[in-house]
Amino acid sequence: MTAMKDEPETKLVALDLDGTLLDSDKRLSPRNRAALERAAAGGVWIVPTTGRFFGGMPAEIRELPFVRYAVTINGASVFDRAENRTVSSSAIPLRVALDVFEALSRFDVAAECYMDDWGWNSEETAAKAAEYAPDAHYAEMIRGLRTHVPDLAAHLRATGHDVQKILAFAKDPSLYGAVVSAVQKAAPGVLATASNPRLFEFNAAGAHKGAALARLAEHLGFGIENVMAFGDGLNDLTMVRDAGIGVAMANAAPEVLAAARETTLSNDEDGVAVAMERHGLCLPRRAGAGAR
């Protein structure tokens, strides 16, 4: 695919979903979809890069015919849909996860986790989803994309499995600093971030989108400099910072805007398509190229 002067060829486009590729109604716009289709037809890998687990991604994204790989759970997992296997993974050890939950219990938050590529929470958390979730979309995720157990910590101890990500929904976003401080004191090395001001997220050290994309790029035979990454939230910061072309949405957090090489229009204005078109990634199909 043609690169702009003095920049590496873009071989992979990494896309955060909520607040980036999807509009505020969680839909993929026709213009954004067309841009992705044309880039894929030109030989570019299209990779959803999200805080969700693979099964929690919208069906219209999971079923895009040109999507083979997905970076999920903030980089804790890289999934190969064609071979139905995980390419790389990084989890929080069970004993560390239990320390995180103990620290979270001292705050007014609703805590849950991802384990074995699925969501888990307590029946109490599920019952108060509407009260703690930032909006109806998140409330539905808490209720519908989770298995509810009487006692989450007891369930984790019984399974003995490591945890891919821990989430804490807060009514008060100003709790973030205190919560992160308490968690990192209890579990040094755990990586804290946020995809929404009221959703605090904790991953294993080194499990972030930037690192996962670097591993995937190496797996595919090129470097992070050949990646264009789009994002808006704090959990997108590392990939926007590390990619050859890091693009912040107009609606991005200030830290992401500051780290990005360039900005584009908002997620409600087809900002992804606008930037891809600007970089020549949506040109007509070239001879011998095909969707991945």
Parse the chain into domains and list their residue ranges: 12-90+207-278, 94-203
Q: Residue 274: is it exposed, middle or buried by C-beta count within 10 angstroms (0-12/13-18/19+)?
A: middle
Q: Residue 282: is it exposed, middle or buried by C-beta count within 10 angstroms (0-12/13-18/19+)?
A: buried
Q: 94-203: what fold?
A: 3.30.1240
Class of domain 12-90+207-278: alpha beta
Whole-number Cα distances in Å, 15 to 134, 219, 239: 22, 18, 10
Instruction: Answer yes or no: are the C-beta atoms of 230 and 272 closer than 8 Å.
Output: yes
Q: What is the pLDDT of residue 169?
A: 96
SS3 86: strand
Q: Where are the beta strands (DSSP E) in 123-237?
A: 146-149, 165-170, 191-196, 199-203, 227-231
Q: What is the pLDDT of residue 7?
A: 75
Per-residue pLDDT of the chain (292 residues; tens, 9 = 90+): 445 556 789 999 999 999 999 999 999 999 999 999 999 999 999 999 999 999 999 999 999 999 999 999 999 999 999 999 999 999 999 999 999 999 999 999 999 999 999 999 999 999 999 999 988 989 999 999 999 999 999 999 999 999 999 999 999 999 999 999 999 999 999 999 998 999 999 999 889 999 999 999 999 999 999 999 999 999 999 999 999 999 999 999 999 999 999 999 999 999 999 999 999 998 755 433 334 4
Q: What is the pLDDT of residue 8?
A: 83
